[in-house]
């Protein structure tokens, strides 16, 4: 789709933040705008945490250079079935959206949980970059540890807060209203330009520049 042109004092940026339930229910936030931070930094993530997520941050210093992240092909499949394909015996509601109604029980799917995911999870949170913040609401399967830690970097943060329960389809309570927007992250890209929020299935990871986890 056409994007507006803006004038940046230093450089351009593009950010992709993807969150998934792990059961074919993804949410992707894309931001393109101006860059005011450093060109390097470390991502921090807990790869064993659920739900799975992925972040790409890219800064560049030429006119209209922030066009590398054009499609969902840069995002890996966050809903890969485990091998061997063994079920835990627990059934949960699964949904993911940016409005509470997107994740109502009536709009949620019923799934058979994978392997060691023997409890149900429900919660809400935010996907943050700079002073731009997207609310998220989700229900999914989880491990008994109930660890939900999103990817962080000097420029982005995926924050989740929720709880787990035992028993089939126990994650059916109303979801809390999302938390207030997080403060601007130091060195984050300035949020000018167009922001897209989509819910499309990602394919295999392609080549990309910048940082990812």
At 110-142, the pLDDT tens digits run: 999 999 999 999 999 999 988 889 999 999 999
| The length of the chain, given as a count of residues | 213
Higher pLDDT, 122 or 178: 122
Domain 11-206, CATH class in plain words:
mainly beta
Q: What percent of the chain has pLDDT over 90?
A: 45
Average the pLDDT over each of 8-17, 155-164, 170-179 and give the range with the smallest value.
170-179
pTM: 0.82
Q: Which residues contact 95 (CB under 8 A, 6 or more apart)?
A: 21, 25, 102, 103, 104, 107, 108, 109, 137, 138, 139, 140
Q: Are 108 and 119 in contact (CB under 8 A)?
A: no
Higher pLDDT, 29 or 150: 29
Q: Nearest to residue 30, comparing CAs of 63, 65, 57, 62?
A: 57
- pLDDT, residue 82, reads 82
- pLDDT, residue 86, reads 93
Does residue 201 have a pLDDT over 50?
Answer: no
- Residue 71 class from Cβ within 10 Å (0-12 exposed, 13-18 middle, 19+ buried)? exposed
- CA-CA distance, 143 to 78, in Å (whole number)? 16
């Amino acid at each position: 789709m056409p994007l507006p042109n803006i004038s940046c004092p230093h450089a351009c940026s593009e950010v992709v933040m993807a969150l998934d339930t792990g059961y074919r229910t993804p949410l992707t936030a894309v931001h393109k705008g101006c860059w005011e931070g450093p060109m390097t930094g470390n991502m921090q993530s807990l790869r064993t945490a659920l739900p799975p997520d992925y972040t790409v941050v890219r800064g560049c210093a030429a006119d209209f250079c922030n066009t590398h992240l054009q499609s969902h092909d840069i995002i890996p499949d966050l809903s890969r079935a485990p091998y061997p394909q063994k079920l835990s015996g627990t059934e949960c509601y699964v949904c993911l959206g940016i409005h509470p109604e997107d994740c109502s029980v009536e709009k949620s799917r019923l799934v058979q949980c994978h392997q060691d995911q023997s409890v149900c999870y429900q919660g809400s949170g935010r996907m943050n970059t700079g002073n731009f913040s997207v609310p998220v609401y989700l229900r999914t399967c989880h491990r008994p540890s109930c660890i939900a830690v999103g990817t962080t970097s000097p420029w982005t943060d995926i924050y989740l807060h929720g709880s787990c329960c035992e028993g089939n389809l126990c994650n059916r309570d109303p979801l809390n209203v999302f938390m207030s927007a997080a403060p601007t992250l130091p060195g984050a890209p300035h949020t000018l330009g167009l922001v897209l929020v989509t819910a499309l299935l990602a394919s295999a990871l392609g080549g990309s520049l910048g940082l990812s986890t």
